[in-house]
Structure 1
Amino acid sequence: MLAANCSVQSRAVEATVATLLALECGLGLLGNSVALWTFAFRLKVWKPYAVYLLNLVTADLLIAVCLPFHAAFYLGRKTWRLGPASCRSLLFLRVLGRGVGVAFLTAVAVDRYFRVVHPRLKVNLLSPRAAWGVSGCVWLLLLGLTHQSLLVPAAACPGLEPGAELSFSAAWQEALIFAQVVLPFGLILFCNVRVIRTLRRRLRDPGGQPKLQRARALVTVVVVLFAACFLPSLLARVLVAVFRAAGGCRALGVMVHVSDVSNSLAYLQSVLNPAVYCFSNPAFRHSYRKVFNTLRGRGREAEAPGDIKDSYS
């Protein structure tokens, strides 16, 4: 724990984090609501990857709903006034949404890996109904892994604050956060590198270059978004733990502020995931373009065809 005279609060940092969380909430609700509408009314052909993307949208919306309460926590000088039960519930939903989102982002990468690199394997014959079964198992697994969030000490609410007492529940959550970043990132990177290498061999003729460019763009978006959103937060948590063990208020205070900002930026993943949907299916590009043009006052565009092909198909 931090020493009693070791204050790490900063009004500027807390206001900045609260503003970031509020912006992420608004943009996340807008972007993922458009994606949800596209799934419901525009997507005509369903494949396993589409099922995984729909679950990713659900997880992102769950995070977006939690963010206003997290912003209020920072506006209140890191004080939670709604009671320990609501605090633990909020932490549980945030951890669950983040874990499920990372899991389905990884599932999309693995699905594309098998379809492109190993197209003859029977796993590629997986039906959308079976993909729904896999999705249900993912939710149940993450529910089991994150239930410890409901048992964290009241001092750690509504998140795992660096100065909080490190109970078993808090230590479990720290280990889970690391596992949810390091392992999926490695798997996503491996799958996407193999996909690009395979497509480069197959699409050597000029007619296949546009398809290869779309694939490269999607791979770049997934890897860059994952790295930019999660790796700084992970590094900051490590440095906070190191400086807390070493002692010294000044260095620890700086790292706590860095950790607060980087942790808030981690939720940008739920805001920027629509870029993944746009590269995966032209139906999403049309929906977002239509909303953007409406906000700019340019009126309605012509309807795009409803039967849309996957970018890797």
Structure 2
Amino acid sequence: MTAEGTKLHCDVSTHNLVASVLPPVLIIEMLLGLPGNIMAIYVFCKNMPSWRTNVTFLFNLILSDFLLLLSLPFRVDNFLRGEKWIFGDAWCRINLFMLAVNRSASIAFMTAVAFDRYFKVVHPHHKINHISSRQAAGVATFIWAAVIALRIPLLANHLLNTDNNSSKCRSFSNYKSPSLGIHLHNGVFIFEFFVPLILLIFCSVRIACILRSRQMDKDKRGQRAIRTVLVIVGVFVFCFFPSIGTGLTALFLKTLKEKYCNAYNLTSQLFAMSIAFTYLNSALDPVIYCFSSSLFRNYLRSTLNRTGVIQLQLSRRGSTYSGSD
């Protein structure tokens, strides 16, 4: 969500600060995110016949990250030019669409991984724990279809804002009369944070309570289950809360910006820079792979062992384990 609105008596100029701070940060995130995600794609594709539900969701989480990594260089170029978009309106729409889909899909598949772990621990005999790889792929396809459908309005709206010979490509721009599609985009932005957050907290609490009641909270597998969901919650809040927090604050101050001009201006700048946390999600997702899949975990361990610098013990289930632990 953005803080930009119609300019009345409060001039919100964010491009100087954004242009100086964001490009190097985004480049670092890109360089950190690519190796981990490429490695994860290699590991999961190599072991595709042994996939189970959570690996299917993790693989789709990787795909959503690549949508971001493919789009990010254009945003870096945009910020380096002081928010002057040179690639035209059509690519502006596609670029913002891909970025929005990445955010929504990442949140959806992180939640799916947490729910998979929740059912395995809290309801171990539930039929959902025995769905086939084909059925898990069907669930993933449905998630993609829902995410894309909700973000289609970004392709249907004119998003390139030309003002004073400067073209700005923003999903939330200086709309005097926002269209229904833009209102839908705003609503999805808010909904996709708070609803998954409630579900993730629910999964964490229930898993911890059940393991404690079964006296399994000290067991290695029980501790791993708790850590997996807590890592997902931690990455989720750390990456997505800054944008939703500053965005909602800016929307509130927007109605009072004639009175609180400086506060509105500051919040607008904070929101613009908060997207660095959103994009950081793609660099941090490999941490989730480590906690959620023994396939990825064992590959990292064996790679480190081959260097001779450090020796780590592989999972007892071996490197071909499906990743359900």
Q: Which residue of 2 aligns with 1:233?
A: 243
SS in 2 for 1:267: helix
Deviations 1:85-122 (A, max 9, x none): 00000011111111111111111111121121112222
Q: Which residue of 1 aligns with 2:257?
A: 247
Aligned AA for 2:99?
R
Q: Distance in 2 between matches of 1:162 and 1:293?
A: 51
Q: Distance in 2 between matches of 1:28 and 1:127?
A: 30
Larger mean CA deviation between 84-93 and 148-157 belongs to 148-157
Does structure 2 retain, via aligned residues, the 8 Å contact 1:43–1:283?
no
**1:99 is aligned to 2:112:** no
Identity of matched residues, %:
30
Q: Distance in 2 between matches of 1:290 and 1:194?
A: 34
Does structure 1 retain, via aligned residues, the 8 Å contact 2:253–2:263?
yes
Deviations 1:9-33 (A, max 9, x none): 3423322112222222222222111
Aligned AA for 1:216?
I
Does structure 2 retain, via aligned residues, the 8 Å contact 1:109–1:191?
yes
TM-score (norm 1): 0.89
Give the deviation of 1:300 after TM superposition.
10
Q: Match for 2:91 among 83, 86, 95?
A: 86
Does structure 2 retain, via aligned residues, the 8 Å contact 1:27–1:271?
yes
Q: Which residue of 1 aligns with 2:138?
A: 133
Count of residue pairs brought into register by the alignment? 308
Unaligned runs of 5+ in 2: 1-5, 162-167
Q: Match for 2:321 among 296, 308, 312?
A: 308
Does structure 1 retain, via aligned residues, the 8 Å contact 2:239–2:280?
yes
Deviations 1:43-87 (A, max 9, x none): 663111111111111001111111111111111111211110000
Unaligned runs of 5+ in 1: none
Give the deviation of 1:131 after TM superposition.
0.5
Larger mean CA deviation between 110-119 and 156-165 belongs to 156-165
Q: Distance in 1 between matches of 2:277 and 2:263?
A: 21
**1:193 is aligned to 2:198:** no
Aligned AA for 1:308?
Y
Does structure 1 retain, via aligned residues, the 8 Å contact 2:302–2:312?
no
Give the deviation of 1:250 after TM superposition.
2.2
Deviations 1:104-145 (A, max 9, x none): 111111112112111222222211111011111111111111
What are the residue-to-residue correspondences of 1:74-223 with 2, within 5 Å? 74-155=79-160, 158-161=169-172, 163-165=174-176, 166-204=178-216, 209-223=219-233
Does structure 2 retain, via aligned residues, the 8 Å contact 1:43–1:307?
no
Aligned AA for 1:47?
R
Give the deviation of 1:247 after TM superposition.
1.8
Give the deviation of 1:308 after TM superposition.
2.4
Aligned AA for 2:98?
L
Aligned AA for 1:90?
N
Q: Distance in 2 between matches of 1:213 and 1:169?
A: 44
Calculate the aligned-residue CA RMSD, in Å: 2.6
Q: Distance in 2 between matches of 1:302 and 1:219?
A: 23
Does structure 1 retain, via aligned residues, the 8 Å contact 2:55–2:293?
no
Aligned AA for 1:60?
D
